[in-house]
Structure 1
Amino acid sequence: MKRTLLSFLGLSALCAMLAATANAASRDLPPFSEYKPAGENAPAANRAEPLVRAQWAKDVPAGISVCGEFVAGSSEPQAKILFSADRAVKDFKVLALAFESVDENGKVSFAVKELYRLDQLAPEHPLAVVTTFFGDLPNNGFSYVGEDGATRNFAVNVSGEDGSLVLTEF
């Protein structure tokens, strides 16, 4: 009887400590409604919309003519991407990316190899690129020099949700 009573008291004390810990932890955390998506927490420079768009060439509206094509590789399956800009950008480069590391903040680093370069990507001269997407990590990208003179680098990947192209600045 004494052993049962001691076990019961010990179990009760343990439950009380766990409940107190849970209540204290929940008071220290903000509710989910106060969290912002990662993009909203990024510095303003990182959230600026890219001046270059990437879309599947098969989805390009009729009447838009492709002015150039670059074949990045002959591996299968091949995909054709159309890069276009609303206004001209300088020093446009098609890049091959290879994963290097991820820092403690989740920022991914890539080894970059230039595959193709244009002095300027203009609205009237979109560029088609034939490439291959391997696995889940981006292996394709592009860069350009923005209006402020800074080089912007983007990884191009395929959305797992709807199959659209996703651009991620790195």
Structure 2
Amino acid sequence: MRCKLVKGVLLTLLAAALLGCGAEKKMAAPHEKVPKAEAAAAAAAIVKVPAYELEYANIVDGVYDFLANGNSKRLPQQGTTGIYELRDHFNADEAVKHLGYTLLDINNDKVPELIFAFNNNEIRGKGYYGKELYAVYTFVDGQVKFVDEGWARSSLELQPDGTLLTRGNISNAEYVLAVHDLLKDGSTRCLRMYFTKAQEGAGGLEVYRSSDGRAFADGSERMQMTADEFFEMGNELSSYSTEVELLPLHEYKQSGSKFKGLAMPYLHIMGVHELQDPQADLSGYEQVSVPDPFKGADVLFRTNAELQDFQLLDLQGAANKNDGRVLYSKDRLQAGAKLYLHLSSFETIPKNGIAFKDDAGRLRKFAICVSGRDGSIYLHEID
């Protein structure tokens, strides 16, 4: 769906990637008198907004201004290749429909990253989701830092464990497949990297595994792997990439929080078997059990923000899975609340789910599912 930029620019950008894996204040007009109580409340609200949100909002402003109005002066210096492609391919109205953004903490440092991704405009429940990432930014030492970007010839996706998957090429012989993670200092670390080179005299492709995060045959390990196996490995990794929840840019707000309405960044759910520490203290978790759980499956649930009208649902007993019977409810779950859920065992069709209101006041419902790849637990939004 995406168009290509000038070929020379793309080749230069991807060649560089192959070499290393590596507040908005609403001010009153001068003549306008603002009651002291309102002014104090506004000031308090501004103080409570995290610094990263204010800085990220400036980037969202700039990207919106570019796609909607063609003004590139406020765009960030890095991370815009895919956004330029999007603007070249669509008119302004379509461009802002196909770009979404989100806040998601992918390196577990308690500060979310700002992510732009392709939005296919298909609503699931009340949320939008996308898999093709255009740009990732993080916030370190009071400043926004560019992390990575994706475009037509170098896709970028998020893996379930928070790592970033890159697949790209600069010619019919040079392809790269790399997985890297984001460190807490804002740098990236190459975890594994494979690449191809033309096979001399045979017309085929040789596959290498990099030892230092660079796509140089010298110093890299020649793999006993065919080109087809290389591409199959990339396709398999991509099949497990995570869809991120997005706020569509065409619903962009000129005032107020530009990140209101996101639900997924404020939850964390996992199976007990995923705990790294076998001596983990679960005494702080409230125990919640479904009636007569079949075989049983234990799940830990933790909130990163306050949730209103939280419910645990039985999806299997309802004629319509979206009208599940309420098994447990709480008017308010405080930020940092911990629940130890004893559920029915996981099968192809989810048996249990949760519901709550997001910060925009919309009721959101999610089925609790298990990955067929590694048994990890994830949430899938339902109507």
Out of 105, 111, 128, the position equivalent to 1:46 is: 128
Matched to 1:56, the amino acid is: G
Find out whether 1:67 has 2:285 as its counterpart: yes
**What is the CA distance between 1:151 and its match in structure 2?**
0.6
Give the percent of matched residue pairs that are identical in Structure 1 and Structure 2: 25
Map residues 93-104 of structure 1 onto 2, 5 A cutoff: 93-98=311-316, 100=319
Out of 350, 357, 376, the position equivalent to 1:145 is: 357
**What is the CA distance between 1:46 and its match in structure 2?**
2.6
Find out whether 1:55 has 2:270 as its counterpart: yes
- Of the two structures, which has the highest relative contact order with CA contacts closer than 8 Å and spacing of 6 or more? 1
**What is the CA distance between 1:66 and its match in structure 2?**
3.2
1:100 & 1:110 partners in 2: Cα distance?
Answer: 9
Matched to 2:337, the amino acid is: H
Unaligned runs of 5+ in 2: 1-117, 130-244, 246-262
Matched to 1:161, the amino acid is: R
Unaligned runs of 5+ in 1: 1-38, 102-108
State the TM-score, normalizing by the size of structure 1: 0.63
Map residues 78-89 of structure 1 onto 2, 5 A cutoff: 78-89=296-307
1:136 & 1:45 partners in 2: Cα distance?
Answer: 23
SS in 2 for 1:110: helix
* Cα contact 2:290–2:342 (8 A) shared by 1: yes
* Cα contact 1:155–1:168 (8 A) shared by 2: yes
* Cα contact 2:297–2:346 (8 A) shared by 1: no
* Cα contact 2:294–2:345 (8 A) shared by 1: no
**What is the CA distance between 1:134 and its match in structure 2?**
5.1
Residues 82 and 134 of structure 1, relative CA distance in 2, 3 Å threshold? closer
Residues 58 and 66 of structure 1, relative CA distance in 2, 3 Å threshold? farther
1:143 & 1:75 partners in 2: Cα distance?
Answer: 19
1:156 & 1:144 partners in 2: Cα distance?
Answer: 14
Matched to 2:375, the amino acid is: G
* Cα contact 1:95–1:116 (8 A) shared by 2: yes
Find out whether 1:123 has 2:335 as its counterpart: yes
Residues 87 and 93 of structure 1, relative CA distance in 2, 3 Å threshold? same
- Stretch deviating more after TM superposition (74-83 or 56-65): 56-65
**What is the CA distance between 1:124 and its match in structure 2?**
3.0
Residues 162 and 58 of structure 1, relative CA distance in 2, 3 Å threshold? closer
Residues 115 and 145 of structure 1, relative CA distance in 2, 3 Å threshold? same
* Other-structure match for 1:165: 377
- What does the per-residue CA deviation read over 1:90-126, in whole Å, with 9 as the maximum and x for residues that have no partner? 111000103757xxxxxxx533110001122223321
State the TM-score, normalizing by the size of structure 2: 0.30
How many pairs were matched up?
A: 125
* Cα contact 1:71–1:129 (8 A) shared by 2: yes
- CA RMSD, Structure 1 to Structure 2 (Å): 2.6
**What is the CA distance between 1:59 and its match in structure 2?**
3.0
> Which is richer in strand?
1
**What is the CA distance between 1:141 and its match in structure 2?**
0.1
1:64 & 1:70 partners in 2: Cα distance?
Answer: 13
* Other-structure match for 1:11: none
